[in-house]
Amino acid sequence: MLLEVNNVYNIDCAEGIGLLERDCVDACITDPPYELNFMGNTWDNTGISHSIDLWKEVLRVLKPGRHYIGFDINSEYYDIAEKRIKEYTEDNKHNK
Ligand SMILES: C[S@@+](CC[C@H](N)C(=O)[O-])C[C@H]1O[C@@H](n2cnc3c(N)ncnc32)[C@H](O)[C@@H]1O
């Protein structure tokens, strides 16, 4: 099955992108997981954002010269966020 244009699909991105033809996308705009295991969310700890194969797929489907806009965090923020998550987790352990 190939995906139809101008439809919304609620499916795993790794599966969905494989259903797209080469050079068919005008823009990829994404806020992928930051892989922080934020608040214990399982989707934030799968490693998908670090998948070279997935990003190669993004390049495959984007039309030449088209746009990618991705939300991300820098390493300094990552360090701060990791510290805050540890504090949050520790606080919640004590509060139980
Ligand atoms: C950083 S959050 C984005 C939050 C969004 N910007 C919002 O304001 O609600 C990352 C999102 O990616 C989704 N996600 C994680 N793995 C995914 C996957 N393999 N395929 C599709 N979506 C995925 C998660 O469910 C989560 O909603």
Q: Which atom of ligand 1 is nearest to the CA of 48?
A: 19
Task: Measure the N-to-C terminal CA separation of the chain; round to a whole number of Å.
Answer: 49
Residue ranges covered by each domain of the chain:
13-95
Neighbours of 58 (CB within 10 A): 16
Q: Ligand 1 pocket: which of 8, 10, 31, 58 to mutate (most atoms <8 Å of CB)?
A: 31
24: pLDDT strictly greater than 70? yes
Pocket of ligand 1 contains residue 90 by CB under 6 Å: no
pTM of the model: 0.80
Summarize the confidence of residues 9-24 as an average pLDDT: 95
Q: Ligand 1 pocket: which of 8, 10, 13, 73 to mutate (most atoms <8 Å of CB)?
A: 13
53 pLDDT band (50/70/90 cuts)? Answer: very high
Q: Which residue has the higher pLDDT, 59 or 87?
A: 59
80: pLDDT strictly greater than 60? yes
- Report the C-alpha gap between 18 and 21 in whole angstroms: 8
2 neighbors 21 (Cβ within 8 angstroms):
yes
